[in-house]
Amino acid sequence: MNDSRGAVSRRLFVSGVFAALGAAPVVGPMDGPAVAAAAPRGSVLRARPGTVVLDGRTLSTWMYDDRLPGPLIRATAGRTVRVRLVNELPAPTTVHWHGIRITPKMDGAPGLSQRPTPPGGTFDYVFTVPDPGTYFYHSHVGMQSDRGLYGALVVADPREPLGYDQEFTVVLDDWQDGVKGTPEDAERRMSATSHDKGLSSPLLGGVAGHMRYPYYLVNGHTANEPRTFHSRPGARVRFRVINAAADTAFRVALGGHRMTVTHTDGFPCKHVTVDAFVLGMGERYDFVTTLGEGAFPLMAMAEGKSGRAFAVVRTSRGARRPSPDGTVPELNRQMLKYQDLEARRADQLPQPSRTVTVTFGLRKRPGGDEWTLNGHGADDPLRLRVERGETIRIVMHNDTHMWHPMHLHGHTFQVRTTDRGGPRKDTVNIKPRERMKIDVHADNPGEWMFHCHNLFHQEQGMMGTLGYGRPPRRKHDMGH
C-alpha cells in the first residue's frame, strides 16, 4: 500500500483491487408488549410497491408486506430464522440483517455474498441468530433502504437478565420517497461535494447531512399524526431505538424522564443514565426508564436539520397530548458520550498485538465527487485481508468535514474509547478530525462489507471489505 496514512502489518493485505467472493421467527405487530406473544403470520416477506399516507398526502413507495416499517421480526438467540423474500418489486433486491453475526451467504450484500434477487424471484434467508438484542433489516441494493424497505429485528434472550414490564420498538427514519421523486433521483442530483452548508451540528462536529427531508418518522408516523405508546404509571419500560434513516442522525429524549442505556447496537453495556443521546444511521440503543403519570413526548430531533420525529408515551387517559412543537429540556441536558459506554466484562475483546493494526483515512476525492476509504472508491474499493482468529485493530481517521457512521457486516467490534475497554457496537460515528480505534475479532470467516451508513456516502464510494478465512474466488462488482 503506497499511502502514507496506511500502516499495514505483515499479516494484513490491503489491496487496491477488489476481488469479491463471490425455528421460524414470529412476525408480529410493531409495538406489542414483550409479554404478549405476537401472532405468527408466517415467515414470508413480500417486497413490493405500495402507498403510504403521510400528513394526508398519499405517496408511492416500496415496502415489506405493505407496512411501514416492515413487520417486526422476533427471533430467539440460538435459534434459526427462516424468512422467504418474495420480490414483487420492479428491481432486484436483497435483505441485509444489520448487526447479526450471520453466515456470509445470508448477509444480503449484493455482488459480494449474493446476487440480488430479480423481480419475480424469491430468496430463502435461513440463519441462526447467535446474539440477543435489537437489530434491523433493510434492503442493501442502491438507495432502496431510503424507501420503505426496512424493519426491526428483535432477538430475545431466553435468559433475559434485564427486568422490565413492557417494551417498545422505536424505528426512526428520514422520509423523502414520493415527495420529489425517488431516493435514486435525489442521489443522482447530489454529488459528494454538495451538501447544505446550513446543516451543521456541534454534536456531530460539522456538517450533519446532505439534505433536509420533508418528513421524519417514528414507526412510519409523522410528528403531526404521532404514534402513541400506551403503558401505565410506574411501569419499567424498555425502549429499543433504531435509526433506519439514510442521512439523518437523531437526538433522542423522553420528556420528563431520564434514560438508563442498557445496550449498544444489541450488546449489553454497563448501565449509564443520561437525558439524551444521538443516534447515527445504523446505530441502536436500548434504554429502560420508569414511567411517570401523564403523556410524554418521545422526541427525536433531526440533528443539525430543522425537523423532528415525534411520538407520545401515554400512561394516563386524561393527560393532554404533548405538542410535537414543544421543547423537551432533556434534549439539552446530559448527553450520552461513547466514553460513558463500557461493554460487560464477558464481552470485552482481548487487546490485539501491535502487528495487526491497520490505519486508514475516511476521505473525499480531491475535486471529485466521491467519498473514499483511504482514497479507494467504488471503482477500486479498499479491501482488508486479515487472518482468521486474529483480533485486528482498525484505526480510522476522519479527514473530511462530515461525520461518518461506519458499519461492519458480520461482527460486533469493540470501540476502544480507552486502552481498557469501550462498548461493543457494529456501527460507530466518527466526527471530522476524529480518530477512532475499533477492535474486531476475526471469528466469522467471509468477505464482509465495511462502509459508511450514510446511504449517499455508501453509494458514492465509501465502502470496502474485510475478508478472511477463505481465498477470494472471483471478481465482480459490489452492486453500485
Asked if 460 touches Cu ion (CB under 5 A), the answer is: no
Q: For 145, left (φ over 0), alpha (ψ -120 to 50), or beta?
A: alpha
Q: CA dihedral defined by 75, 79, 80, 86, rounded to 10 degrees? A: 0
Q: Which of 457, 463, 466, 467 binds Cu ion (CB under 5 A)?
A: 457
- Of the CA atoms within 13 Å of residue 238, those in its CB half-sphere come to 25
* Nearest distance, CB of residue 377 and Cu ion, angstroms: 12
CB nearer ligand C2O, residue 140 or residue 431: 140
Q: How many other C-beta atoms are found inside a 10 Å radius of the C-beta of residue 306? A: 9
* Nearest distance, CB of residue 206 and Cu ion, angstroms: 12
* Residues 128-167 as x/- pattern, contact with ligand C2O by CB under 6 A: ----------x-x---------------------------
Asked if 457 touches ligand C2O (CB under 6 A), the answer is: no
Size of the site for ligand C2O (CB under 6 A): 10
Asked if 383 touches ligand C2O (CB under 6 A), the answer is: no
The interface partner of residue 404, options being ligand C2O, Cu ion, none and the CB cut-off 5 to 8 Å by kind, is Cu ion
Q: Which of 407, 424, 425, 431 binds ligand C2O (CB under 6 A)?
A: 407
- What is the H or E stretch that residue 287 is in? strand 284-290
Distance, CA of 223 to CA of 31 (rounded, Å): 17
Return the C-alpha cell found at 96. Answer: 441485509
Contact indicator for 91, 141 with CB cutoff of 8 Å = yes
The interface partner of residue 207, options being ligand C2O, Cu ion, none and the CB cut-off 5 to 8 Å by kind, is none
Q: Is 310 exposed, middle or buried (0-12, 13-18, 19+ CB in 10 A)?
A: buried
Q: Which stretch binds ligand C2O (CB under 6 A): 58-66, 79-87, 350-358, 449-457?
A: 449-457
DSSP letters, 132-159, are: -EEEEEE--STTGGGTB-EEEEEEE-TT
Of the candidates 458, 462, 450, 457, the residue with the CA atom closest to the CA atom of residue 20: 450
The amino acid present at 286, given as its one-letter code, is D
Contact indicator for 183, 246 with CB cutoff of 8 Å = yes
* Residues 252-291 as x/- pattern, contact with ligand C2O by CB under 6 A: ------------------------------x---------
Return the C-alpha cell found at 111. Answer: 455482488
Task: Name residues contacting ligand C2O, limited to 78-107 (CB under 6 A).
Answer: 96, 98
Asked if 364 touches Cu ion (CB under 5 A), the answer is: no
Asked if 454 touches Cu ion (CB under 5 A), the answer is: yes
The interface partner of residue 451, options being ligand C2O, Cu ion, none and the CB cut-off 5 to 8 Å by kind, is ligand C2O
Backbone angles phi, psi at 151, to 5 degrees: -165, 165
Q: Which of 95, 331, 449, 462 binds ligand C2O (CB under 6 A)?
A: 449
Asked if 386 touches Cu ion (CB under 5 A), the answer is: no
The interface partner of residue 383, options being Cu ion, ligand C2O, none and the CB cut-off 5 to 8 Å by kind, is none
For residue 308, give Cα distances in angstroms to 94, 131, 201, 217, 282. Answer: 30, 32, 15, 8, 18
216 beta partners: 174
Q: Which of 221, 284, 404, 437 binds Cu ion (CB under 5 A)?
A: 404
The interface partner of residue 227, options being Cu ion, ligand C2O, none and the CB cut-off 5 to 8 Å by kind, is none
Q: Which stretch binds Cu ion (CB under 5 A): 255-263, 280-288, 454-462, 471-479?
A: 454-462
CB nearer ligand C2O, residue 96 or residue 305: 96
49 beta partners: 62
Distance, CA of 341 to CA of 417 (rounded, Å): 9
Q: Which of 301, 451, 465, 468 binds ligand C2O (CB under 6 A)?
A: 451
Residues contributing to the site for ligand C2O (CB under 6 A): 96, 98, 138, 140, 282, 407, 409, 449, 451, 453
